Structure 1
Amino acid sequence: MRRGWALFSIGLALLAGPACVQAQDNEIVPAPTAAQWAAIADLPDFSGTWLPDIGDQKRQEQGPDSPPWKPDVQKQVDHWFAEEDAGRPRGLLVDCLPHGMPSLMLITHNAIEFLVTPGRVTVLGEVDGNRLRRIHTDGRSMPEDPDPSFDGYSVGHWEGDALMVETTAILPQTYLAVSEAVGIPSNGGMTVSERIHLIAPDTMAVDMEITAPELLTRPWKTRRIYNRSRDRIDEIQEGVCRQGDFHEDTDEYGNAIYVPTTSSDDGNLLPPGS
């Protein structure tokens, strides 16, 4: 009973104050109160590092649970699967650009972390460039015309022990991907609904419904599984996508710096001094 009342109180706190709930981009979001910080303790425990179940991802690539591609899109998908089978995988994520949504939750092979704070859940992803996704839980409605981005604009709320999230304003160049080699740009209009919840003390399910009118014949419902680790070895590490394009040197004053590494005509990095 205490837990139910606490969750109800959180909802009232987040929904209080119309200026906050319907806040526009030029309005100030007030600092959280001590009571709102204390209420976090009554939400589900999403702490720790979450590792994706890669086998679960592979099961969704092809077969009855794969996306309901439109016929012309299916031909593209088949082509990229054939290229991968022939040893020529395309590599969707080799250009230093973010995974974007929903690929961050669908096909990431790296750890993610959830930071639950009053009015927001922040998702950190370990990969070159360190991913950052914000889910607003302060009661705001979806903006009428949000600026498109790789991860889109996410608005969420708690329903019992589940975090319910709606995401829109995803860039048309962002992939709807089933693997790191097979995916098609959304071409606009893609939205994602999520139910993020624990199905065991250290197992999280991310249930997604993905609508992509340019790619799919109907919304695609799928689930991804993440397993919690509290081992220090699994904590998220810094990733810098282009660090390998530079080498260590010193400037004219003896300061330690990075300088660009030269490349050969075919694009391969050359060792310093070449």
Structure 2
Amino acid sequence: MRSKSLKWFWLAAALSGVAATPALAQEAVGRAANYEGVTSWPDWSGIWSPGVSAASRTTATPPKLTPEGQKMVDAFNAGKERGENLQTQAANCVPNGMPGIMRLPYPIEFTYSPGRVNILIETYSQVRRVYVDGRPLPEDPDPAFNGHSVGHWEGDTLVVETIGVNPAVSVVPGIHATENTRFVERITRTAPDHLVDEITITDPAIFAEPYVMVQNYKLEPNWEMREYVCQENNRDGADAEGRPVMDLGDPFEGLED
């Protein structure tokens, strides 16, 4: 491999007219070696659609909650009964965050870099970066909508651990992420056109036991990722307190007959 990499390096240098130094040659060999690991990973190329049916986004049962978690959900449900506006800020084009970003009815795509799996998500044109270079999770992460993720391969399964999700993110209805909320995903291609993301959520103060969600994806060979700019043509608004509202009004108001 080394001699082959050097051969191509010197050929490229000769064609470009750039003087090839030993240091540059060694750098080229190092880059080639880095990508050798990438080529051994499972091929998940293509566009994966989560679908829109309830069967594509499954959960076995409602989460089993601690008394503190149940208190949060009870307060949320009581607010709904009173008619309170309890929409999340996603209605104002704020990203859904984990785990919702993986469970919306818009496609995803995987790309690989040395030491990193990138998950491109059409929703909000988001990117999740999963570091598989052996680094640990950060000890004191800055909150982020999708959190901070590290992973490793177990055969053809990508195991992803995520922490540091922004507390504004709704994990399940009525419950927001805390500094102790952790996600473990097991992403596996179970058939040529089928990918499964099993998401396990833990938070000792809220969940009495791990809560598992399953997201299914179908390969769509003829699809392309599209640009998603939520704010463009967004007809949602915010009330005086900044809460999401839905006021479509008259789309033809002000137009001449």
TM-score (norm 2): 0.71
Residue 157 of structure 1 aligns to a residue in which SS? strand
Q: Quote the offset at 1:153 in angstroms.
A: 0.7
Distance 1:170 1:91, change over 3 A: closer
- Give the gaps of 5 or more residues in structure 1: 1-29, 247-265
Deviations 1:238-271 (A, max 9, x none): 011222269xxxxxxxxxxxxxxxxxxx785877
**Paired AA for residue 222 in structure 1:** M
**Paired AA for residue 34 in structure 1:** A
**Paired AA for residue 55 in structure 2:** D
For residue 130 of structure 1, what is the aligned residue in structure 2? 125
Highest RCO, 1 vs 2 (Cα 8 Å, sep ≥ 6):
2
Instruction: Give the 5 Å matches for 1:214-229.
Output: 214-229=205-220
For residue 46 of structure 1, what is the aligned residue in structure 2? 44
Instruction: Give the 5 Å matches for 1:84-163.
Output: 90=87, 93-105=90-102, 107-127=103-123, 129-163=124-158
Please tell me whether the aligned partners of residues 194 and 206 of structure 1 are also in contact (alpha carbons under 8 angstroms). Answer: yes
Residue 151 of structure 2 aligns to a residue in which SS? strand
Q: Look at both structures and tell me which one has the larger radius of gyration over its CA atoms.
A: 2
Q: Quote the offset at 1:38 in angstroms.
A: 3.4
Instruction: Give the 5 Å matches for 1:1-274.
Output: 33-53=31-51, 54-57=53-56, 59-60=58-59, 65-69=61-65, 70-76=69-75, 78=77, 90=87, 93-105=90-102, 107-127=103-123, 129-177=124-172, 182-232=173-223, 235-244=224-233
Residue 34 of structure 1 aligns to a residue in which SS? helix
For residue 4 of structure 2, what is the aligned residue in structure 1? none
RMSD: 3.1
How many residue pairs get aligned? The number is 212
TM-score (norm 1): 0.67
Residue 133 of structure 1 aligns to a residue in which SS? strand
Distance 1:272 1:37, change over 3 A: farther
Deviations 1:48-93 (A, max 9, x none): 1111143225543xxx52222332233246458879xx9x883652
**Paired AA for residue 130 in structure 2:** I
Distance 1:230 1:57, change over 3 A: closer
Distance 2:178 2:132 in 1: 28
Q: Quote the offset at 1:45 in angstroms.
A: 1.3
Q: Quote the offset at 1:167 in angstroms.
A: 0.6
- Residue range with higher mean Cα deviation, 48-57 or 95-104: 48-57
